[in-house]
Structures are given as structure tokens and as C-alpha cells.
């Protein structure tokens, strides 16, 4: 798929549709900004929520996102995860990254992790309000879910070391290994591994989604 042309005030987005009937959830994701994803019942509402979260996203990653319009450049079918607000990757995530591109994407991922850590620290000692997001997990359970289960799954998808004592470091090592070609595109059983773009998008989404959940429930 050719890369869409960008302008300074244009954000290119994908729309992914879930599987529930009669109408699945829609996830809108900013292609060039991993972690900036929001879902709603309709495409229009998903885009509106994406824009509503611009300030929070900018605060989280420490970068300005110039937005005049959101242009949907790809629509795709999702799966059951989409109905829970977990978007898959756009087609461009299949592309390779060079060292400079990976550095930019990792800086966004690092900022997403920092936003998650800050939200956790601010909520320490508080009881999170119950709600539908995250199944009403406690703060400790959210941290365990993110720092252990989620990161281990992403490291495994990249072909990295899931037994590493620091899974964030393991993820960063695997990202660089995939970029250099040290880790093959396919696993020992023939399964296709995630690209660095896919892994960073999912990891940033996960960190920011739970950071904002903690803030909203605190």
C-alpha cells in the first residue's frame, strides 16, 4: 500500500471495525502517532474521541501534534479484540524501519511508559473507582497486567527473550534485533513475528490506555 501524503495539519487515520452484530465497535488510530487510538460505536464518534484526546496524548508523549483534519486513509475489518478497543495495526506497519525511524518510535513508546508510570505513582494509596474499563481491576492488577502479561506477550511476538528480568528492556532489545535482522521474521514453527512498528503501536496503545484509565478512575 503506498504511503499517503501528509501535511502539517493533516492526521492520517485508520478505522477498524469490530465483529459484534449488528454493528461492531470502531477504532480510529493515528497512523504516525503510536498510542493515539480511540474507539466508539460509529466511525464519526471514534474520530471525534480521537481528537478529544489530542491534548492528553500530547501531554503524555511530550510532543505537539498539529491537527487540522483527520483523514481516514484505510478501513479494515478487526476481530473480537476490536470490540474492546484494542486496534490492530494499519497496513503501513508491515514496512521496515531504519535506525532513525525506530529511534522516533521508541521515543514515543518510552514516553508512553513514563505516562503509565506517572499515573500509577499518582494513584498509589487510592482505591480506583469501579467501572467497565479493565474489568474494574485494582491498581496492582493493572500494573501486573501491563508490566508482566502485556509486555511478555509483545516480546514473544517479536521473538525476544521473554525470561529477561526487565521486559521493557527485552522489548527494546527485540525491536533493535528485528530491525537489524538478527531475529528472523518467522519463528521456529513458521509463524510470522510482529514488525517493530506493530509492536510499538500495540505497546504504546496498551500503556496509554491504562494510564488514562487509572487517571479517570482515581
What pLDDT digit, counting tens, does each position of 101-153 carry? 999 999 999 999 999 999 999 999 999 998 654 468 999 999 999 999 999 99
171 pLDDT above the threshold of 60: yes
* Last residue in a domain, options 53, 74, 92: 92
Looking at the fold, whether 86 and 100 belong to one and the same domain comes out as no
Looking at the fold, whether 198 and 129 belong to one and the same domain comes out as yes
Task: Identify the domain containing residue 109 by its residue range.
Answer: 96-217
56 pLDDT above the threshold of 80: yes
Looking at the fold, whether 123 and 213 belong to one and the same domain comes out as yes
Residue 3 within a domain: no
186 pLDDT above the threshold of 90: yes
Looking at the fold, whether 115 and 205 belong to one and the same domain comes out as yes
Residue 188 within a domain: yes
Looking at the fold, whether 36 and 59 belong to one and the same domain comes out as yes
Residue 189 within a domain: yes
pLDDT value at position 135? 61
C-alpha cell at 107: 521515543
Between these two residues, 106 and 188, which has the higher pLDDT value? Answer: 106
183 pLDDT above the threshold of 50: yes
Cβ atoms of 146 and 116 closer than 8 Å? yes
* Last residue in a domain, options 61, 92, 123: 92
24 pLDDT above the threshold of 80: no
Looking at the fold, whether 141 and 51 belong to one and the same domain comes out as no
Q: Distance (Å, rounded) from C-alpha 90 to C-alpha 82?
A: 13
Looking at the fold, whether 77 and 118 belong to one and the same domain comes out as no
CATH number at residue 42: 3.30.2390
* Last residue in a domain, options 76, 92, 108: 92
Residue 39 within a domain: yes
Looking at the fold, whether 176 and 147 belong to one and the same domain comes out as yes
For all residues of the chain together, what is the average pLDDT?
Answer: 90
Looking at the fold, whether 133 and 205 belong to one and the same domain comes out as yes
Residue 1 within a domain: no
The number of domains in the chain is 2
1 pLDDT above the threshold of 60: no
What ranges make up the beta strands (E) of the chain?
10-17, 26-30, 37-40, 69-77
Q: Distance (Å, rounded) from C-alpha 109 to C-alpha 177?
A: 17
Give the three-state DSSP class for 35.
Answer: coil
Looking at the fold, whether 100 and 87 belong to one and the same domain comes out as no
Residue 61 within a domain: yes
Helix ranges restricted to H, 73-185: 99-123, 139-144, 151-158, 167-180
36 pLDDT above the threshold of 70: yes
Give the predicted TM-score (pTM) of the model. Answer: 0.90
C-alpha cell at 76: 479494515
203 pLDDT above the threshold of 80: yes
Residue 5 within a domain: no
Q: Are strands 69-77 and 26-30 parallel, antiparallel or unpaired?
A: unpaired
7 pLDDT above the threshold of 50: no
Looking at the fold, whether 53 and 126 belong to one and the same domain comes out as no
Looking at the fold, whether 16 and 85 belong to one and the same domain comes out as yes
Residue 68 within a domain: yes
List the single range of 48-52, 81-85, 158-162, 176-180 with lowest mean pLDDT: 81-85
Amino acid at each position: 500500500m503506498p504511503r499517503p501524503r501528509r501535511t502539517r495539519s493533516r492526521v492520517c487515520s485508520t478505522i477498524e471495525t469490530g465483529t459484534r452484530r449488528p454493528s461492531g465497535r470502531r477504532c480510529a488510530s493515528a497512523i504516525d502517532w503510536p498510542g493515539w487510538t480511540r474507539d466508539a460505536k460509529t466511525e464519526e464518534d471514534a474520530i471525534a474521541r480521537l481528537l478529544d484526546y489530542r491534548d492528553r496524548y500530547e501531554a503524555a508523549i511530550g510532543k505537539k501534534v498539529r491537527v487540522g483534519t483527520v483523514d481516514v486513509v484505510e478501513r479494515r475489518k478487526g476481530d473480537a479484540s476490536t470490540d474492546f478497543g484494542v486496534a490492530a495495526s494499519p497496513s503501513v506497519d508491515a514496512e521496515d524501519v531504519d535506525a532513525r525511524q525506530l529511534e522516533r518510535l521508541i521515543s514515543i513508546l518510552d514516553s508512553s511508559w513514563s505516562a503509565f508510570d506517572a499515573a500509577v505513582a499518582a494513584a498509589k494509596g487510592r482505591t480506583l473507582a469501579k467501572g467497565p474499563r479493565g474489568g474494574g481491576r485494582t491498581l496492582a492488577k493493572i500494573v501486573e497486567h501491563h508490566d508482566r502479561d502485556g509486555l511478555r506477550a509483545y516480546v514473544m511476538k517479536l521473538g525476544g527473550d521473554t525470561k529477561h528480568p526487565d521486559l521493557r528492556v527485552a522489548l527494546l532489545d527485540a525491536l533493535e534485533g528485528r530491525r537489524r535482522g538478527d531475529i528472523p521474521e518467522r519463528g521456529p514453527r513458521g509463524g510470522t513475528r510482529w514488525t517493530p512498528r506493530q509492536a510499538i503501536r500495540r505497546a504504546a496503545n496498551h500503556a496509554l490506555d491504562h494510564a488514562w484509565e487509572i487517571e479517570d478512575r482515581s
